[in-house]
C-alpha cells in the first residue's frame, strides 16, 4: 500500500513542530511565493504564546507517490493523554532527541507507549549544530533506554539520522547535506505499510474535530476493511451499548486540509461526518456483524482542583458566562476530547472537582476558558491520595534538572527540603545533570523558587512515576500575604507608606475589594492593610513633606504561578481580563472564627 502513518514523539522543546514544518516545505505543500511562517502546526494562540504543542494534529504529504500521514504530538508530560490516544493511528514513530540533552523523562514516557504498541522507531538526533552537543553519547543513551524498556530485537535495530531541524537538513551520518531527503527516504524504507487484516469494518475514534456547519466529526484510522459514504454502521461504545447510524460524508487528510472522498480503505486516517453521540475510544464497526476494538486506556490523573462560580464582589463585571450551568456545560464538553480530565460534582451546586495530570494541564484549561469569556474561581491544586494495602499513598514523580555547576548545590537543597531524594548526579559539558524522586506535592511552587535561585538558568522536567507511601508535611510558602481591608481604589500615597511591609501585586489606581490579596508580606503571617487611604489635604505646607511617591512596579504573575503560590485558604478569581488572588473567606472576623474552629477540631 502507498500509505505510511508516522507519529513524531519527543520531550518538550526538542524540535517536533519544526521538523513537521521542514517536511511540509520538502514536499512542496506551499507554493514558492507563499508565506508559511514557522510552527505551522501550532495554530492555536495559546500554543504560539507558550511555544509548546498542546493538541496533537495530523497532516498528510505526498512524497515519491506515497502518502505519508504525519502526526505531531505534544511533548509535555501533562498532555500525555493526547499522545496515548493518537499513537493508535501510527505504524511507526520518529523519536526526536536533542543532541545535547539526550533522552529526558518525557522521552521515556512516550517511547514506552510506542514500544508497547509495537511501532517501528526511527531515531533522529536533532540540533547537532549546537555547542557542547554530544551525538555519539546521546545515541548510546537512546540505545540503553530502548533496552531498559524491553524493546524487541527488531525495535533495538533502529535506524538513526543526524541533523538540524532549524537549518533544514538530516542525514544518516554526521555529514551535512542539502535537505531532509535522506530522512524522507528513511521513512519510506523503514516504516511498514499498514497491515490489512481480514474481516469486517473496524475503525477506532481517536480524535474529534468540530465544524460549525457539520457539527462533531470523528477522526480515526480504518483498521479493517473499508468505510463508504452513506453506509450504515454500528457505533460500539465503551459502556457496551451499540447504535445503528449512517455515515453522511467522508474526508481524508491532504496537506494542511481535508478532501472529500466516497470511500476510505484500511490503513488510512479519515474524518467521518454524520455520527452522533460518540466519544473518543468508541469503535465504528460493521452494521450486521459488529466487533469492538479494545478501549483506549489513559493513565489516571494525579491532581485535582476545585472550580466554582466567581463569587467575589466583582462578579459579572467582566465575563459573558458566569453561572454554574455555563461552567458545568463547558467542563463536561472538555472531558469529551480531553481524555486525562475528570469532572466530579461536589456537595455544592456551584462548584466542581476537576481532576487532571498536573498544573500545566489544568492551567491550560483555565486559560482557554478565560479567553472564551468565562468567569470562575479556582482553589489550590491538591494531589490525589490513595489508600494502598491500608497505607496512605501519594503520587511521586521523577524530576530532572539541568543547571550550571555553580547552582547545583542550591537546586539539591531546594528539592531535598521538599522531600525529594537524589538518584543521579552527572556532568554534561558545562551543565550538571540531576535526577530526583519527589512527591508531586513537592513540585507545586518549586519552579518559581528554582528559577529565582539559579538566575533563570535551570531547565527542569518531570513525569509521573508511581504511588508510594505518604512523606509527611512539606514546607509551603514562607511569607504571609497583604490583604485589602476594604473595597476601593488603591492610592499612590497609601502604597508608598506600606512599601516597607512587603511587595505589591497591584498598582496605584486599581480597584480592590475586602479580602483580596494585594501583595506579599515580608514576614510570615498575613497582614490586613488599607491601600485606599488618600492624603489629607490642608492649606498648611511644610518643606520636605511633599516628596513624590516612589513606588516599585507591581509583581506580575502568570496563572500557573498564582496556582503554585496560593495556600489552602486562598483561591484565584479568573476573568477574561483579570487574574486576582483572594482569601476564600473575605471577611476578616469570619476568617478568624473559621481558623479557631479548625484548631479546635484538630
Q: d(Cα 307, Cα 362) in Å, to the nearest integer?
A: 10
Residues of the chain with CATH 3.30.70.240: 386-469
pLDDT reported for residue 42: 47
pLDDT, mean over the chain: 85
pLDDT reported for residue 314: 92
Band of residue 292 on the pLDDT scale cut at 50, 70, 90:
confident
Q: d(Cα 394, Cα 441) in Å, to the nearest integer?
A: 9
129 is in an annotated binding site: yes
Band of residue 45 on the pLDDT scale cut at 50, 70, 90:
low
Asked whether the predicted pLDDT for residue 428 surpasses 90, the reply is: no
Rounded mean pLDDT, 570-588: 93
Rounded mean pLDDT, 438-443: 91
Asked whether the predicted pLDDT for residue 35 surpasses 50, the reply is: no
Higher pLDDT, 257 or 467: 467
Residues of the chain with CATH 2.40.50.250: 481-537+548-573+582-601
pLDDT reported for residue 60: 84
pLDDT reported for residue 338: 77
Asked whether the predicted pLDDT for residue 44 surpasses 70, the reply is: no
pLDDT tens, 485-541? Answer: 999 999 988 999 899 999 999 999 999 999 999 999 999 999 999 999 888 777 666
Band of residue 49 on the pLDDT scale cut at 50, 70, 90:
low
pLDDT tens, 227-258? Answer: 889 999 888 888 888 889 898 989 888 877 78
> Which of 97-106, 184-193, 554-563 has the lowest average pLDDT?
97-106
**Highest mean predicted confidence (pLDDT) among 371-380, 442-451, 466-475:** 371-380
Rounded mean pLDDT, 66-71: 88
168 is in an annotated binding site: no
**Which of these CATH numbers, 2.30.42.10, 3.40.50.80, 3.40.718.10, 2.40.50.250, describes 481-537+548-573+582-601?**
2.40.50.250
pLDDT reported for residue 375: 94
Asked whether the predicted pLDDT for residue 33 surpasses 50, the reply is: no
Asked whether the predicted pLDDT for residue 573 surpasses 70, the reply is: yes
Band of residue 81 on the pLDDT scale cut at 50, 70, 90:
low
- ∠ CA(525), CA(531), CA(536), 5° rounding? 135
pLDDT reported for residue 39: 46
Do 69 and 269 form a contact (C-beta atoms < 8 A)?
yes
| CATH code of domain 386-469 | 3.30.70.240
Residues of the chain with CATH 3.40.50.300: 3-190
> Which of 40-49, 70-79, 544-553 has the lowest average pLDDT?
40-49
Strand 215-224 with 202-211, pairing? antiparallel
Q: d(Cα 35, Cα 556) in Å, to the nearest integer?
A: 35
> Which of 40-44, 52-56, 78-82, 341-345 has the lowest average pLDDT?
40-44
Q: d(Cα 404, Cα 251) in Å, to the nearest integer?
A: 51
Q: Which CATH class is domain 202-286?
A: mainly beta
14 is in an annotated binding site: yes
This prediction's pTM:
0.81
Q: How far is CA 233 from CA 74, 215, 228, 292, in A?
A: 32, 19, 10, 12
16 is in an annotated binding site: yes
The sign of the torsion formed by the CA atoms of 579, 585, 589, 591 equals negative
Q: Which CATH class is domain 3-190?
A: alpha beta
Asked whether the predicted pLDDT for residue 450 surpasses 70, the reply is: yes
Rounded mean pLDDT, 102-112: 80
Percent of the chain with pLDDT over 70: 91
pLDDT tens, 116-175? Answer: 888 999 999 998 888 878 889 999 999 999 998 888 888 899 999 999 888 888 988 888
Band of residue 47 on the pLDDT scale cut at 50, 70, 90:
low
127 is in an annotated binding site: yes
Rounded mean pLDDT, 551-555: 89
Q: d(Cα 89, Cα 86) in Å, to the nearest integer?
A: 6
pLDDT tens, 199-223? Answer: 888 888 887 777 778 778 888 888 8
CA proximity to 102, closest of 141, 131, 68: 141
Do 448 and 561 form a contact (C-beta atoms < 8 A)?
yes
Q: How far is CA 155 from CA 94, 108, 117, 141, 415, in A?
A: 12, 15, 11, 15, 36
361 is in an annotated binding site: no
Do 222 and 263 form a contact (C-beta atoms < 8 A)?
no
Radius of gyration of the chain (CA): 27
pLDDT reported for residue 92: 92
Residue 202, C-beta contacts closer than 8 angstroms, at least 6 positions apart: 222, 223, 224, 225, 283, 284, 285, 286, 291, 293
pLDDT tens, 392-410? Answer: 999 998 888 888 999 999 9
pLDDT reported for residue 327: 94
Q: d(Cα 309, Cα 352) in Å, to the nearest integer?
A: 9
Band of residue 32 on the pLDDT scale cut at 50, 70, 90:
very low
pLDDT reported for residue 31: 47
Asked whether the predicted pLDDT for residue 46 surpasses 70, the reply is: no
Residue 313, C-beta contacts closer than 8 angstroms, at least 6 positions apart: 487, 513, 514, 586
Phi and psi at 323, nearest 5°, equal -90, 165
Do 265 and 226 form a contact (C-beta atoms < 8 A)?
yes
310 is in an annotated binding site: no
Band of residue 48 on the pLDDT scale cut at 50, 70, 90:
low
Q: d(Cα 352, Cα 520) in Å, to the nearest integer?
A: 29
Asked whether the predicted pLDDT for residue 12 surpasses 80, the reply is: no
CA proximity to 256, closest of 13, 15, 25: 25
Amino acid at each position: 500500500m502507498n500509505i505510511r502513518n508516522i507519529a513524531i514523539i519527543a520531550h518538550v522543546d526538542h524540535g517536533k513542530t519544526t521538523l513537521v514544518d521542514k517536511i511540509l516545505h520538502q514536499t512542496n505543500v506551499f507554493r514558492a511565493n507563499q508565506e508559511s511562517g514557522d510552527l505551522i502546526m501550532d495554530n492555536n494562540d495559546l500554543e504560539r504564546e507558550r511555544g509548546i504543542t498542546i493538541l496533537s494534529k495530523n497532516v498528510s504529504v505526498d512524497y515519491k507517490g506515497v502518502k505519508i500521514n504525519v502526526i505531531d504530538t505534544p511533548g509535555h508530560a501533562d498532555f500525555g493523554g493526547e499522545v496515548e490516544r493518537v499513537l493508535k493511528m501510527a505504524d511507526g514513530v520518529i523519536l526526536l532527541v536533542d543532541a545535547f540533552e539526550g533522552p529526558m523523562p518525557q522521552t521515556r514516557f512516550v517511547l514506552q507507549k510506542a514500544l508497547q504498541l509495537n511501532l517501528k522507531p526511527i531515531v533522529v538526533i536533532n540540533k547537532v549544530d549546537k555547542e557542547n552537543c554530544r551525538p555519539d553519547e546521546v545515541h548510546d543513551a537512546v540505545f540503553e533506554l530502548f533496552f531498559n524498556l524491553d524493546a524487541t530485537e527488531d525495535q533495538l535495530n533502529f535506524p538513526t539520522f543526524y541533523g538540524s531541524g532549524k537549518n533544514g537538513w538530516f542525514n544518516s551520518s554526521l555529514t551535512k547535506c542539502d535537505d531532509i531527503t535522506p530522512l524522507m527516504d528513511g521513512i519510506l524504507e523503514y516504516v511498514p505499510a499498514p497491515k490489512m487484516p481480514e474481516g469486517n469494518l473496524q475503525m477506532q475514534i481517536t480524535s474529534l474535530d468540530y465544524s460549525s456547519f457539520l457539527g462533531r466529526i470523528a477522526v480515526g484510522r480504518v483498521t479493517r476493511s473499508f468505510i463508504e459514504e452513506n453506509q450504515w454502521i454500528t457505533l460500539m461504545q465503551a459502556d457496551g451499548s451499540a447504535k445503528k447510524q449512517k455515515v453522511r460524508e467522508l474526508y481524508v487528510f491532504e496537506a494542511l486540509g481535508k478532501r472529500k472522498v466516497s470511500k476510505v480503505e484500511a490503513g488510512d486516517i479519515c474524518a467521518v461526518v454524520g455520527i452522533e453521540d460518540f466519544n473518543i475510544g468508541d469503535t465504528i464497526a460493521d452494521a450486521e456483524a459488529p466487533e469492538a476494538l479494545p478501549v483506549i486506556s489513559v493513565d489516571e490523573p494525579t491532581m485535582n482542583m476545585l472550580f466554582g462560580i466567581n463569587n467575589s464582589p466583582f462578579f459579572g463585571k467582566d465575563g459573558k458566562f458566569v453561572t454554574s450551568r455555563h461552567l458545568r456545560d463547558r467542563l463536561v464538553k472538555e472531558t469529551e476530547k480531553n481524555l486525562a480530565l475528570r469532572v466530579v460534582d461536589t456537595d455544592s451546586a456551584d462548584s466542581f472537582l476537576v481532576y487532571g495530570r498536573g498544573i500545566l494541564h489544568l492551567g491550560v484549561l483555565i486559560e482557554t476558558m478565560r479567553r472564551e469569556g468565562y468567569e470562575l474561581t479556582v482553589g489550590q491544586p491538591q494531589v490525589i491520595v490513595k489508600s494502598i494495602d491500608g497505607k496512605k499513598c501519594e503520587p511521586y514523580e521523577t524530576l530532572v534538572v539541568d543547571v550550571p555547576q555553580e547552582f547545583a548545590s542550591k537546586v539539591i537543597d531546594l528539592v531535598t527540603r521538599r522531600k525529594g531524594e537524589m538518584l543521579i548526579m552527572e556532568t554534561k559539558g558545562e551543565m550538571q545533570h540531576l535526577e530526583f524522586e519527589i512527591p508531586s506535592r513537592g513540585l507545586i511552587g518549586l519552579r518559581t523558587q528554582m528559577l529565582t535561585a539559579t538566575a533563570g538558568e535551570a531547565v527542569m522536567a518531570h513525569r509521573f512515576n508511581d504511588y508510594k507511601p505518604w512523606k509527611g508535611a512539606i514546607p509551603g510558602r514562607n511569607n504571609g500575604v497583604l490583604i485589602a481591608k476594604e473595597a476601593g481604589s488603591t492610592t499612590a500615597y497609601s502604597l508608598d507608606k506600606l512599601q516597607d511591609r512587603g511587595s505589591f501585586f497591584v498598582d496605584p489606581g486599581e480597584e480592590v475589594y475586602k479580602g483580596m490579596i494585594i501583595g506579599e508580606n515580608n514576614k510570615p503571617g498575613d497582614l490586613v492593610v488599607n491601600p485606599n487611604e488618600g492624603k489629607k489635604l490642608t492649606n498648611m505646607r511644610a518643606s520636605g513633606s511633599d516628596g513624590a511617591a516612589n513606588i516599585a512596579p507591581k509583581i506580575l504573575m502568570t496563572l500557573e504561578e498564582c496556582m503554585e503560590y496560593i495556600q489552602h485558604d486562598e483561591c484565584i478569581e479568573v476573568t477574561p481580563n483579570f487574574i486576582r488572588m483572594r482569601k476564600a473567606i473575605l471577611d476578616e472576623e469570619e476568617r478568624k472564627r473559621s481558623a479557631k474552629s479548625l484548631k479546635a477540631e484538630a
